[in-house]
């Protein structure tokens, strides 16, 4: 058979997807985390993998989906949270803009699956299926073997259970709750994701009417996390918008690294933090490093991190900022505090062993 005869759409998809294959899975497995540090990998959107010296691996908001893949009827559901927010009816052109850097089905072990909230870009049925079907285990505080827990706010737990995750595998957290796993402690904190407040259970003409209702269920819908690790305390704000209460979290906890959901909001939207919000969040949290995330994933919310950089340099001396921003790349590793002084990430460039083997070129001064 010729090459042309062998090629099908299916084998093209299988040989190119996920784009990074198991490259990152292997990198994470092989990473030896040094005492007093914590290693993190950005999985895209707000997806994060944490690995500690004590061999604790947790994921937050690991998600394996995408956005629009067809123009369809060009319409958005009447009760979609963005339709609720601004009264738009035309389809949102949110196409996934980053590659899949991790293969959820090739994950060999994890100690907990965490979600900050239940929106589609923050939870994965594929990953949940793999964790359940592969019988993944971890150990509890006393060293006893237990099935890997799924940890999230009430609405996330409801979604996991709807997908078929057994109820006894799920742990519902509310602000103030704390869970210890190996050498980390996870503290659930208040979320400020007001997009969750305008998210209704039913989407369609029978959507719940929100007008005039005072919502009181934020803690059931979303949480932020403080993850205490041997390498420092990491603050994951999920999809929180800016809130004055970041300042309270900054007073209650020592925060080393803070992740904030950044994006260029289309006109009519207030969903992601702006550059100013990211700096205000970092200042309020009194963190040492602030890392913008989420701006990578949706074509219609993509934003330039240089905007944060320009404003940071404008304001840092006058306001006495004690933090700096770090600009990351999806699929990249960040080790804290080892990489504390880094300001921007570049993927490994390779060719470290140049000239260690003989060249094969016409003459030495050719290039």
CB of 258 to Fe ion, least distance (A): 17
Paired tokens of 309: 């950089």
- Contact between 14 and 105 under an 8 Å Cβ cutoff? The reply is no
Phi/psi at 83 (nearest 5 deg)? Answer: -70, -40
CB of 108 to Fe ion, least distance (A): 27
Binding Fe ion (rule: CB under 5 A), the pick from 61, 239, 277, 283 is 239
Residue 283 contacts Fe ion per CB under 5 A: no
Determine the interface stretch with Fe ion among 27-35, 96-104, 198-206, 237-245 (rule: CB under 5 A). Answer: 237-245
Q: Judged by CB, which is closer to Fe ion: 93, or 164?
A: 93
Contacts of 171 (CB under 8 A, 6+ apart): 149, 150, 151, 152, 157, 179
**271 binding Fe ion? (CB under 5 A):** no
Binding part of the chain for Fe ion, among 47-55, 117-125, 202-210, 298-306 by CB under 5 A, reads: 117-125
Does 121 contact Fe ion by CB under 5 A?
Answer: yes
Nearer to Fe ion, 93 or 176 (CB): 93
Give the burial class of 70: count Cβ atoms within 10 A of its Cβ; 0-12 exposed, 13-18 middle, 19 or more buried: exposed
Other beta carbons less than 10 A from residue 320's beta carbon: 8
Q: Which listed range, 101-109, 160-168, 233-241, 252-260, lies at the site for Fe ion (CB under 5 A)?
A: 233-241
Ramachandran area for residue 15 (φ above 0: left; ψ -120 to 50: alpha; else beta): alpha
- Specify the residue, 99 or 176, whose C-beta has the smaller distance to Fe ion: 99
Least distance CB 137 / Fe ion (angstroms): 30
Find residue 58's DSSP bridge partners.
50, 112
Other Cβ atoms less than 10 A from the Cβ of 85: the count is 17
What is the closest distance, in whole angstroms, from the C-beta atom of residue 325 to Fe ion in the complex? 20
Q: Which stretch binds Fe ion (CB under 5 A): 72-80, 106-114, 234-242, 351-359?
A: 234-242
Contact window for Fe ion (CB under 5 A) among 27-35, 66-74, 121-129, 145-153: 121-129
The dihedral built from the CA positions of residue 31, 138, 129 and 44, taken in this order, carries a sign that is negative
Q: Cα–Cα distance between 15 and 23 in angstroms, integer?
A: 14
Q: Cα-flanking dihedrals φ and ψ of residue 306, to 5°?
A: -65, -25
Q: Which two tokens stand for residue 300?
A: 């219609």
Is 3 buried (19+), middle (13-18) or exposed (0-12) by CB count in 10 A?
exposed
CB of 197 to Fe ion, least distance (A): 14
CB of 238 to Fe ion, least distance (A): 8
Angle at 332 between CA 354 and CA 243, to 5 degrees: 150
Nearest approach, Cβ of residue 239 and Fe ion (Å): 4
- By beta-carbon proximity to Fe ion, the closer residue of 121 and 256 is 121
- For Fe ion (CB under 5 A), the number of binding residues is 2
Q: How far is the CB of 14 from Fe ion (least distance, A)?
A: 29
Binding site for Fe ion (CB under 5 A): 121, 239
């Amino acid at each position: 058979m010729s090459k042309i005869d062998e090629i099908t759409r299916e084998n093209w998809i299988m040989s190119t997807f996920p784009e990074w294959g198991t490259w990152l899975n292997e990198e994470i497995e092989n990473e030896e985390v040094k005492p007093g540090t914590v290693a993190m990998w950005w999985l895209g959107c707000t997806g994060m993998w944490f690995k500690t010296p004590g061999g604790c691996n947790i994921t937050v908001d690991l998600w394996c989906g995408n956005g629009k893949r067809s123009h369809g009827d060009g319409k958005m559901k009447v009760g979609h949270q963005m339709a609720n927010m601004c009264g738009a009816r035309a389809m949102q052109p949110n196409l996934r803009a980053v590659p899949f850097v991790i293969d959820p089905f090739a994950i060999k072990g994890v100690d907990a699956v965490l979600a900050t909230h239940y929106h589609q870009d923050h939870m994965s049925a594929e990953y949940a299926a793999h964790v359940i079907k592969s019988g993944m285990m971890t150990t509890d505080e006393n060293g006893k073997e237990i099935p890997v827990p799924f940890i999230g706010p009430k609405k996330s737990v409801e979604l996991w259970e709807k997908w078929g995750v057994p109820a006894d595998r799920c742990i519902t957290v509310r602000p103030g709750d704390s869970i210890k796993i190996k050498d980390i402690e996870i503290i659930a904190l208040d979320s400020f994701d007001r997009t969750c407040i305008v998210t209704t259970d039913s989407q369609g003409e029978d959507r719940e009417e929100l007008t005039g209702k005072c919502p009181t269920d934020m803690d059931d819908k979303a949480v932020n996390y403080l993850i205490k690790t041997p390498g420092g305390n990491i603050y994951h704000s999920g999809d929180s918008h800016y809130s004055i209460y970041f300042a309270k979290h900054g007073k209650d906890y020592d925060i080393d690294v803070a992740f904030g959901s950044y994006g260029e909001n289309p006109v009519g939207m207030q969903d992601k933090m702006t550059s100013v919000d990211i700096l205000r969040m970092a200042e309020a949290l009194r963190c040492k490093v602030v890392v913008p995330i989420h701006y990578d994933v949706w074509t219609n919310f993509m934003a330039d991190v240089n905007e944060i950089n320009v404003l940071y340099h404008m304001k840092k001396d006058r306001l006495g900022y004690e933090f700096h921003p770090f600009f990351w790349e999806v699929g990249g590793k960040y080790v804290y505090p080892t990489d504390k002084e880094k300001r921007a990430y570049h993927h490994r460039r390779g060719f470290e062993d140049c000239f260690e083997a003989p060249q094969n070129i016409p003459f030495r001064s050719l290039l």
